Structure 1
Amino acid sequence: MSSSPGTVAVAVVQDAGISLWELYELSIACTVFGIPHPDLADPWYELRLCGAGGDSGGAGFSLRADHGLDGLVGADTVIVPSVPDAVVEEGQEPPGELVEALREAAASGARMVSLCTGAFALAAAGLLDGRRATAHWQHTRELAARHPKVIVDDSVLYTDDGSVLTSAGATAALDLCLHLVRRDLGAHVAGQLARRLVVPAHRTGGQAQFIEQPVPAGDDDSLGPVLQWATRHLDEPLTVQDLARQARMSPRTFYRRLQEATGTTPLQWLLDQRIARAQSLLESTGLPVDRISEQSGLGSAANLRRHFTRSVGVSPTDYRRAFRPSGPPSRDR
């Protein structure tokens, strides 16, 4: 390939030190875009590390960026791997210098990309307003609360809105980086690069399959005992009337109280708990899918497949294969 896929500028913004978790996402971007593969595409990307000056370090290492944050401006693609923990955990704003550089880079025509909590920086710069975006599922609720103009989707591995792309956390960063290579250099190059990295060129499903679904915590303590009771009887054909009777409330009162406490309806809450039970059984047992459907209260295997795939994004068989690869095959098909 004769034309260059362009310059990729990666922002390094952890002035107080980079954790090993954050380094993982940074290293993904550097590995994909910073190591040439002339047999696949020549020239390859030009990688540019951009920081606020000085060293960033942690866990016994240090990292020095060759460019300041002004180096983001003029790049073809700008990637923000993550932001300081205090931005997410303590509600601080991303560094003002970074936000301004991101705005300038976007205005100059750069393709803007975030990995995990880097979405908070793009959102602070106003670059996600009115756009669909994601981050690690543990942080999407905070992202949506602080930036209501952003259409936050916690069910996907990454989003592609043309000039702005975002990914979930950790390994989902690799999914998005390979997607960028696929866009720039074609499916064959992306597929061959994925083989060298020993990963799938494209993973099925989305982030929903990794989200934990615990019993929702609410302010109404009176519902705690009945919700715990329900989780112990998911294999039974529970109804709203059964739950209301157990809570010693009228069905109408129980419906209203549960919706106020959990933000969902009793039937949807039950379905969520049944799906969570099925996930646990698929991960930890070799039970066939028809038995799992019975024990989770979803009836038939066909009913489990339908609800599970709609909720989690992959079939029970694919889920088991991902989370229990050494387990015996299930009778899902």
Structure 2
Amino acid sequence: MTGGDGVLPLAVTMGEPAGIGGEILLKAWVSRREAGLPVFLAIDDPGRLQDLAARIGLDVPVRAIGSAGEAAALFGRALPVLPLALAAPVEPGRPDPANGSAVIESIDRAVALVRTGEASAVVTNPIQKSALYAAGFRHPGHTEYLAHLAGLSEEPVMMLAAADLRVVPVTIHIALREVADRLTVGAIVHAGRVTAAGMRRDFGIAQPRLAVAALNPHAGENGSMGREEIEIIGPAVAALRAEGIDAAGPSPSDTLFHPAARARYDAVLCMYHDQALIPLKTVEFETGVNVTLGLPFVRTSPDHGTALDIAGTGRASASSLIAAMTTAADMAHARLSPEG
């Protein structure tokens, strides 16, 4: 999946045009050979990307294409872009809600390309949700919008993945004080089912091993420091095991992420956002990847935001986007394998 005519490219979305998405996209193309990247195309404004390349001193020929099928033959000598016009000029670091419709359309078109078999996977650049909300966007974020586009009846699951660690938060963007009230046996079981299925289909792991983190210190100390492990997490682990899923826990999270522990599982179900993201970003800050499990198509994203404070300065690292592209290509290949 790395070159030649007929290769299905990755479809990379615009993301917030005032953020670092364009810069890391350009840098990824510059690093394409060194990083061994698959063919990719951008759904973006070619003029914006060309101006940005000049601004930050990158020699990137940007070429508009008429269809995804043109990307592979062009990729070695220019960045292929399916043109998408912006409504307003872009000022780095200053999102304009007027461009929100283009950001959303870029996502729509990327998903459509994958679903019609013209692209292999969707790689999304970071969005600025406040700007999209001002433009009328009514979804909490990328994941929920992608689920809407896919017509899913069940929620997909967010996984953060790195070379040495994969984590899945059961509850995500809520206040810490709300976590215990939001945790249910059903929520944990759903996350475990989708994760196990995703590990088999998207990562080629035939018998995935799931570790399940406790919520409370010392896994609740038999109820003396909370009963969530006894009443919620333990029963969820038992339910997963009854379905044939290799799940173990609840395990104290302070002993779950060191190297020897990581060798004993393929992914961890975590009970809240920071329980998952702190170890992931400690282990692999530069190359973490956001993966959406449970979609009918492959979607990955860099594990960082729009970084408005450094947009347009040339200082942004493309490492996470490069990892997201590599992961997307590997996942797409796994889905095509006989076992996928």
The bucket for the TM-score relative to the shorter chain is 0.3 to 0.5
TM-score, normalised by the number of residues in structure 1 = 0.37
Question: Relative contact order (C-alpha < 8 Å, sep 6+): which is higher?
Answer: 2
